[in-house]
Amino acid sequence: MSLALEPTTTAGPGSPAPAPSAPRTPSRAARFLHGTPIGVWIAGALLTFLVLAAVVPSLFLQQDPYVIDPASAFQAPNAAHFFGTDQNGRDVFSRVIAGTGQSLLLGLSATAIGLILGGALGITAGVSGKWLDSAICRFVEVLFAFPGLLLALIVIAVSGTGVVTAAIAVGVGTAPGYARMLRTQTLQVIAAPYVETALSLGRSRSHILLHTIVPNVVRPLFVLVTLGVGQAIVWASSLSFLGLGAQPPAAEWGAMLADGRNYLQVAWWIAAFPGIFITLAALTTTVVGHHLQRRLEAEV
One pLDDT digit (tens) per residue for the chain, 300 residues = 444 444 444 445 555 555 555 455 555 555 555 668 898 999 999 999 999 999 999 999 888 999 999 999 999 999 989 999 999 999 999 999 999 999 999 999 999 999 999 989 998 998 887 899 999 999 999 988 888 888 888 889 888 888 899 999 999 999 998 999 889 888 888 888 887 787 787 778 788 888 888 888 877 777 777 778 888 999 999 999 988 888 878 889 999 999 898 899 999 999 999 999 999 999 999 888 888 877 766 665
Cβ-in-10-Å burial (0-12, 13-18, 19+) of 72 comes to: middle
* 153 occurs within a structural domain: yes
Give the DSSP letter of residue 213: I
121, 133 Cβ separation under 8 angstroms: no
Coil vs helix vs strand at 267? coil
> What is the dihedral sign for C-alpha 262, 263, 269, 270?
negative
* 32 occurs within a structural domain: no
* 58 occurs within a structural domain: no
* 98 occurs within a structural domain: yes
Write down the pLDDT at residue 189.
86
* 229 occurs within a structural domain: yes
Write down the pLDDT at residue 3.
41
* 44 occurs within a structural domain: no
Distances (CA, A) of 210 to 127, 217, 225, 229, 251: 12, 10, 21, 26, 42
Return the closest-CA partner of residue 123 out of 221, 47, 57: 221
171, 112 Cβ separation under 8 angstroms: yes
**Dihedral angle over CA of 100, 103, 108, 112, nearest 10:** 160
* 190 occurs within a structural domain: yes
How far is residue 54's CA from residue 67's CA, in Å, rounded to a whole number?
20
Domain count, the chain: 1
Cα Rg for the chain, rounded, in angstroms? 27
Cβ-in-10-Å burial (0-12, 13-18, 19+) of 252 comes to: buried
* 18 occurs within a structural domain: no
Residue 198 has, within 13 A of its CA and on its CB side, a CA count of 18
pTM summary value: 0.79
CATH number, domain at 160? 1.10.3720.10
Return the closest-CA partner of residue 236 out of 293, 287, 161, 170: 170
Task: Tell me which residue range forms the domain holding 195.
Answer: 85-299
State the amino acid at position 182 in one-letter form. Answer: L
